[in-house]
Structure 1
Amino acid sequence: MSGPIARRLLRGAGSLAVAALVGAVIVLAADFAGANLFPMYLTNGTSLPVGVVTGALGAPFLLWLLVTTNRVGRGG
């Protein structure tokens, strides 16, 4: 997720450092959400693993990215 987000932030130019920074922010946000926001909805008070939260957010973004890229004609 971080590569395409960083490319959109930089308006087409790619940067490994910006992609790494965006990836770190995504993981930190997913860890915070899994540890603090979602346990109130779970019955036994456990926290969600960061991979579950990242996957739940990343899968719809990946599908949206595939659909919009293929619509423009740049997809594979």
Structure 2
Amino acid sequence: MVTINASCANCGAALKAADDTPDDQMIVCAECGTEVGRYGDIRKAMIDKGRSEIEGAVADMIKRFNKR
């Protein structure tokens, strides 16, 4: 099982949801009660951010390799 970890923007508490959480389920901070967003939206945002970071790292690696 995969667990997606994030933190609450309001209080900084860890937010956790299992990968089998329904996409339409609202994720609520257990510490302060803030509604963070729907699981599917949060998961997509994290995947998009990870993909962007990987693409940037690969582009930098290619630039360094081509300078040789």
Is this a same-fold pair by TM over 0.5? no
TM-score, normalised relative to structure 2: 0.43
Greater share of residues in strand: 2
Computing the radius of gyration over CA atoms, which structure comes out larger, 1 or 2? 2
Greater share of residues in helix: 1
